[in-house]
Amino acid sequence: MANALQQLINGLTLGAVYGLIAIGYTMVYGIIGMINFAHGDIYMVSAFIAVTAFTILAAADITSIPLALTLVLLVSMLFTAAYGWSVERIAYRPLRGSTRLAPLISAIGMSIFLQNMVQVTQGARVKPIPPVIEGGFDLWHADGFTVHLAYSQLLIVVVTVALMAGFTWLITRTSFGRQQRACEQDRTMTALLGIDVDRTISLTFMLGAVLAAVAGVMVTVYYGVIDFYIGFVAGIKAFTAAVLGGVGSLPGAMLGGLLIGLIESFWAAYLSPEYKDVATFAILILVLMFRPSGLLGRPEVEKV
Amino acid sequence: MTAVFNLEHAPTWPERLKDAAWIAFVALLLGIPMIGLVTVDEGGKLVLQTRWPLLAVFVALSFAGRLLLAYLGDLWKRRRRTAETALPGVRAARGWTGVLGWAMIGLAAALPLAFGDNRYVIDTLTTVLIYVMLGWGLNVVVGLAGLLDLGYVAFYAVGAYTYALLATHFGWGFWEALPVAGAAAALFGILLGWPTLRLRGDYLAIVTLGFGEIIRLVLVNWTDLTGGPNGIASIPRPSFFGLPFKPPTDDGPATFAQFFGLEYSPHHRLIFLYYLILVLALLTNLFVLRLRKLPIGRAWEAMREDEIACKALGINVTNVKLSAFALGAMLGGLAGVFFAARQGFISPESFVFTESAIILAIVVLGGMGSQFGVVLAALVLVLLPELGRNFAEYRMLLFGAAMILIMIWKPGGLLAHRAPTLRAPVAAKETA
């Protein structure tokens, strides 16, 4: 029982991170109908930016944790947004209106490029940082097992919830949100109504990158160690989360993320840790077989 | 879409400079955390180092590159406007690829005669041919049937491991294992194809990617069977119709060199392997070319163009898809058997996602559906990094950049040849 509660906490933490990345996939898919294959690597880049930022702050002797975290988040969001913008500009925009395969290939190329760029410029070794937030609550003692809630886990969940609230507001209540949703429905019509579609798509990529940046910072804080390869697996899992929740649906992406996180934690704890990734991929295949529109998605109807 | 609003208007120089300055600013943003700053591990603690001069060079290059690109783009647009009246040379292309194809086969067959004692050349060309064969196999799935497969390397792995297991546990030879491994890979192809029948495009791509990862993770974790990350070693090499390639011994069975009265040389086996993969690849090519002319091949191409129309015409899409997956997988499996036999050692390391991406890149960069394009792309993608061995760490970086640039430059591939094998005269104008 205590173990299950612990896994619930771990799973929710992990799921919040997946959910944040999944939103980037779902938004980009919603607006241009394509998977942003380089999204996982954007998340990886943001984690590296976070490590650099933490190192600078440590060198500058800034010890206040809230201040340091805010600064790192802002810096990471800013620079990662530039990466999101560039990915769209280089790998997607020149190929808009081309075959479906062409942007996918260029995005895979971008993913390989980003991974190797980080490897070349920042080194292939893992980057450890000293723990930023230490300690936590001991929630419950039972059968020789202590349920532990680390402050960093609490932070991840709180930041994610706050971000989701802000994001929902952005999409449902603001002018940009309306433009973004209009582009999702019909790009040509939106353009005819005088909305700058290119700008909206760029901003969508940047927003996705910003959320990935938050995920990257959170993971850096949580695990304290990163390498240039983390983007690949996290990317696939987040994509699975997006599909599970229903591609195009923002609450769906979050729900999918949480479910994937929980499944992964429980699988690793009770069945076999080696095959936890296999479980995720198997879920992806099963969902697509039996409910291709996901839990909260609308079924796609193809018109002839 | 945007073309509706972009009235043709050549940008002036101040606009150009502003644009380039903006790009330089973005380059600065991109460069600061990656190029300008670097964290270095010093005694278990990260220490910050700066590389501002390098960053300055990067930003300056972006600025100049943007201006140059805009200028070249102008030139190109002007030239294209004059050239647009010329007829597209789709028909003509088929003639010269035929001749060139035969010339290349001749060249490939003659190469070992010229470079017979150069181990490096033969080895590299064998690698190229493996990728050509994989490319041709994947071409069935992606190029002909239009099903995007990002986990093709899984079938390659299935073929390789089937042979390795059969050979090390049961003492099977290369030739006996070849059909069995092909069948095993085809079975896996159907296994993958079955759940994904309803999917298309990007969804299919991700599921196939997941499938490829599942296979790799099983190979890594099922230590009893596959040896886990250590892989399987001492896989027997193929023999020349029962004649092994070994230094001659007095009492043992006759070796290849003894039988033909030749001086023993370790190059014999390399050359034999080269010819073996050449023959396998050419058989693959012949097989695929013939399939394209059969009803099943026509059905693949029809399904690629329009799945709903296919169903309306009474084509059984399920069978068509599964056959494409199965045949593509079989060809990948055969290539895998050869790979295992050539290396003598396999491990999950050889079957990572990057391999799938490279094979897919070969198919797409070559121009989907074009058999000749695959050869061209395999040559480019295998030889380019090979030329850059001296700066090895930049290989994959250049590879990724090349994938993006070639796609932007020619979204249809180097030899855009998506036209159906069979087509009505009217359709020719539309697809061209």
pLDDT on residue A86: 93
Q: Which two tokens stand for residue A40?
A: 């996982």
User: Could you tell me if A235 and A246 are in contact, meaning their C-beta atoms sit under 8 angstroms apart?
Assistant: no
What are the structural domain ranges in chain B? 10-83, 92-431
Q: What is the pLDDT of residue B12?
A: 78
**Which among B26, B142, B221 has CB closest to A274?**
B221
Supply the DSSP symbol for B243.
B
**A217 at B interface, C-beta within 8 A:** no
Report percent pLDDT > 70 for chain B.
Answer: 83
| B47-to-A51, A54, A60, A121, B175 alpha-carbon distances in Å | 11, 11, 12, 15, 57
**What is residue A62's three-state secondary structure?**
coil
ipTM of the complex: 0.84
CB atoms within 10 A of CB A137: 12
The CA-atom distances, in angstroms, between B373 and each of A194, B139, B254, B361, B396 are: 42, 10, 42, 11, 21
Residue B1 clears pLDDT 60, i.e. is over it: no
Contact B346, B234 (CB under 8 A): no
pLDDT for position B9 = 62
More confident residue, B302 or B422: B302
Choice between B282 and A144, residue whose per-residue pLDDT is larger: B282
Minimal Cα distance from A194: which residue of B?
Answer: B5
User: Can you give the pLDDT at residue B419?
Assistant: 54
Q: Are strands A145-150 and A136-142 parallel, antiparallel or unpaired?
A: antiparallel
Position B364: which residue type? V
Single-letter code of the amino acid located at B200: R
Q: Are B338 and B280 in contact (CB under 8 A)?
A: yes
Which of B404, B410, B418 to probe by mutation at the A interface, max A CB count within 10 Å? B404
B55 contacts: CB under 8 Å, gap ≥ 6? B28, B31, B32, B35, B36
Q: Do B46 and A239 touch (CB under 8 A)?
A: no
Residue of B398, B408, B414, B418 best to disrupt the A interface, most CBs of A under 10 A: B408
**Three-class secondary structure of residue B48 per DSSP:** strand
Residue A249 has pLDDT above 70, yes or no: yes
Angle between helices B201-221 and B353-366 (to 10 degrees): 140
Q: For residues A232 and B217, give the distance between their C-alpha atoms in angstroms, rounded to a whole number.
A: 14
Q: Report residue B400 as tokens.
A: 């990724």
Cα distances from B232 to residues A201, A265, B159, B227, in angstroms, run 48, 32, 13, 6
- Please write the tens of the pLDDT for every residue from A186-226: 888 999 999 999 999 999 999 999 999 999 999 999 988 88
Q: Which residue has the higher pLDDT, A215 or B223?
A: A215
Look at the pTM and tell me if it is higher than 0.90: no
Cβ neighbours of residue B176 closer than 8 Å, sequence gap 6 or more:
B166
Share of chain B above pLDDT 90, in %: 16
* Closest partner CB to A285 (pick from B46, B195, B308): B195
Residues 6+ apart with CB under 8 A from B276: B238, B338
pLDDT at position B223 is 85
Closest CB from A48, A59, A106 relative to B33: A48
Collapse the DSSP code of B241 into the 3-class scheme (helix H, G, I; strand E, B; otherwise coil) and give the result.
coil
Least confident span in A60-74, B12-26, B374-388: B374-388
Q: Which residues of B305-324 are buried (b: 16+ CB within 10 A; e: fewer)?
A: eebeebeeeebeeeebbbbb
Say if residues B8 and B77 touch (Cβ distance below 8 Å).
Answer: no
The pLDDT value given to residue A76:
94
Contacting residues for B407 by C-beta, under 8 A, at least 6 apart: A95, A102, A103, A105, A106, A109, B364, B365
* Strands A127-128, A136-142: pairing kind: unpaired
Q: What is the CATH number of domain B92-431?
A: 1.10.3470
- pLDDT at position B418 over 70: no
Give the mean model confidence (pLDDT) for residues B351-375. 84
Residue A219 and residue A21 in contact, taking contact as beta carbons nearer than 8 Å: no
3-class secondary structure, B47 = strand
| Alpha-carbon span B291 to B78, nearest angstrom | 43
Look over chain B and give the mean of its residue pLDDT values, rounded to a whole number: 81
